[in-house]
Amino acid sequence: MIRLHKNVALSDSGYVFDPATGESYTLNPIGLEIVQMLRQNMTDDEIQGRILDRYQVDASSLERYYMDFIGSLVQFELADNE
Amino acid sequence: MNKRPVTIAVTGLNNIDSPGPGIPVIRSIRESKMFEPRVIGLAYENLEPGIYMHHLVDKTYMVPYPSQGSDALIERVLEIHRSEHFDVLIPNFDAELHAFIKSAPLLRSEGIATMLPTMAQFEERHKSNLPEFGKKYGVNIPRSVPVSNTREMEDAANKYKFPIMVKGKYYDAYIARNMHEAEAFFFKVSAKWGYPVIIQEFIEGTELNVVALGDGTGTTVGAVPMRKTYITDKGKAWGGITIEEPRLLEITRKIIRQTKWRGGMELEMIKSSDGTLYIIEINPRIPAWVYLATGAGQNQPEALLKLALGMETVPFTDYEVGKMFIRYSYDLIIGIKEFEQLTMNGAL
């Protein structure tokens, strides 16, 4: 289960600010959608299911890109993999 | 509300690429809703830009460097005081603090208030005393040793392993990756700041700083943490952002509580990759980036002024996270007559 850090600020434009480090990041629209779903405490399966419903992507490609993206969030200390 | 008129004398008008804190301190105090300040600048060099910023500094006097003897400096300050009658003196250079702290009772008797650390506080946090400071107050400090020759430095380097930090007594810090570099930095730093040179273990990580103010009884009146976002080749912040890191504030409050710190302070810390916080320096004065704290909601120079004047000062409880500062350079155009007046009369 991926948990986005509570104090991470996320704007509708896809701008992410981590107040603990002062670092900021930009997300593309899909990244923003995923992070917004993480913020709603949705599980990995729920998020991937939602993306599969909305976009033309096969499940294995999505999983690969999704895990890569989640890995980046953890690496940048924006989220924890619980 | 009627503003209280106050005359302050401020040093550190060298608003250059490695800026002194004078101009940010003055800007902060000029924004005060409580005070109507008259600002007397005290300058060591006739090209300190603040001298010519007449919208910030009302009048500037030249003063002798502390290296010419603290008596000469204090006598000159008292001479200026007899014409300008300033209420508070806010020194902003590490190198002058010893003289002003030592003379604080004399200044007070002449009607000049200060809000400086005690001599014991000032000495205890010296770079060469930091390891003992860490043990006494229970904070992490990288290993360091004061050295006076290259042989001693080599011993320290062998103990800490390269890279090492080579630091001047007051200012300047360089990362040396081998003995050749270390020797070059040793001579550079010792030629500028004298001995000892400080050799410090290098801690890899992110540098985080806190600007804070202690009231002298153990209370932290203000504290704002910042991460440098742009660093010049001199290691100075050209940009920074306020952050939310409760551990930095805990360490700051712990130090101020235990030392009963009096006055402004800057804590320089490194957050290592495992998250451990190390204090690498404690500067006994307001730092040049203090205006960021003012912009984030803590006008610490104003609070320092209140403390110096013996006014009741309520500690700040909050600041805005994510507030940024970006420095810029700006060319002042001045007439030769101004420069002549300062050079010939020692005042402008």
Residues B269-282: tens digit of each pLDDT: 999 988 899 999 99
Q: Cβ–Cβ of B206/A21 closer than 8 Å?
A: yes
| Structural contact between residues B60 and B13, judged by C-beta atoms closer than 8 angstroms | yes
The pLDDT value given to residue B129:
85
The DSSP code for B196 is: P
Question: What angle (nearest 5°) sits at the alpha carbon of residue B46, between those of residues B42 and B52?
Answer: 75
Instruction: Give percent above pLDDT 70 in chain A.
Output: 100
Over residues B281-300, the mean pLDDT reads 97
Nearest-CA residue of chain B relative to A75?
Answer: B273
Say what the pLDDT of residue B266 is: 97
More confident residue, A76 or B169: A76
Q: Which of A23, A75, A76, A80 to mutate to test the interface with B (most CBs of B within 10 A)?
A: A23
Enumerate chain B positions whose Cβ falls within 8 A of a Cβ in A: 206, 226-227, 229, 240-245, 321-322
B322–A22 CB contact, under 8 Å: yes
CATH code for the part of the protein at B143-201: 3.30.1490.20
Residues of A in contact with B242 (CB under 8 A): 22
Residues of B in contact with A21 (CB under 8 A): 206, 227, 243, 245
Most B CBs within 10 Å: which of A8, A21, A80, as the mutation test of the B interface?
A21
pLDDT at residue A82 greater than cutoff 80: no
What is the percent of chain B where pLDDT is above 90?
A: 76
pLDDT of residue B296: 98
Q: Which residues of B43-78 are buried (b: 16+ CB within 10 A; e: fewer)?
A: bbeeebbbbbbeebbebbbbbbebeeebeebbebbe
Peptide bond into B196 cis (omega under 30): yes
Lookup result for tokens 């804590």: B267
Distance CA B96, CA B151 (A): 30
Q: What is the tens place of the pLDDT at every residue in B179-235?
A: 999 999 999 999 888 888 999 899 999 999 999 999 999 999 999 999 999 988 877
pLDDT tens for B318-336 read 999 999 999 999 999 999 9
* Cβ contact, residue pair B245, A20, below 8 Å: yes
Mean pLDDT along residues B163-181:
88
Segment B161-168 shows an average pLDDT of 90
Residue-wise pLDDT tens digits, B216-231: 999 999 999 999 999 8
Give the pLDDT of residue B131. 86
HSE-CB of B146 using CA atoms within 13 angstroms: 14
Above pLDDT 70, what percent of chain B? 100
Res B143 pLDDT > 80? yes
Task: Report d(CA B142, CA B278) in Å as an integer.
Answer: 7
pLDDT, residue B101, reads 96
The average confidence (pLDDT) of chain B is 93
Query: Other C-beta atoms within 10 Å of B185: how many?
Result: 23
Averaged pLDDT for residues B163-180: 88
Nearest-by-CA chain A residue for B208:
A21
The answer to whether A26 contacts chain B (CB < 8 Å) is no
**Complex ipTM, two decimals?**
0.77
Strand ranges inside chain A, DSSP E:
2-4, 9-10, 15-18, 23-26, 79-81
Q: In degrees, to the nearest 5, what angle opens at C-alpha A40 toward C-alphas A34 and A46?
A: 60
> Alpha-carbon distance A16 to A22, whole Å?
10
Nearest Cα residue to B316 out of B324, B306, B325, B326: B306
For residue A38, pLDDT over 90 is answered with: yes
User: Which residues share a beta bridge with A18?
Assistant: A23
Q: Between β-strands B197-201 and B164-167, what pairing exists: parallel, antiparallel or unpaired?
A: antiparallel
Nearest chain B Cα to A20, which residue? Answer: B244
A27-37: pLDDT as tens digits: 999 999 999 99
Considering its fold, how many domains does chain A have in total? 1
Give the residue on A whose Cα is nearest the Cα of B248.
Answer: A20
| Among the four given CATH numbers 3.40.50.620, 3.40.47.10, 1.10.1530.10, 3.40.50.20, the one describing domain B4-114+331-345 | 3.40.50.20
Inter-chain CB proximity B229 and A22 less than 8 Å: yes
Q: Tens of pLDDT along B71-123?
A: 999 999 999 999 999 999 999 998 899 999 999 999 999 999 999 999 999 99
CATH no. for residue A15? 1.10.10.10
Average pLDDT over residues B288-308: 98
What average pLDDT does this structure show over B156-164? Answer: 89
The domain limits of chain B are 4-114+331-345, 143-201, 204-326
The parent domain of residue A71 ranges over 2-81
Test A19 with B227 for CB contact under 8 angstroms: no
Instruction: Specify the pLDDT at position B130.
Output: 86
Length of chain B: 348
Task: Evaluate if residue A53 carries a pLDDT over 90.
Answer: yes
Is the domain defined by B204-326 classed in CATH 3.40.630.30? no
Q: What is the helix (H) or strand (E) element at residue B115, kind and residue range?
A: none
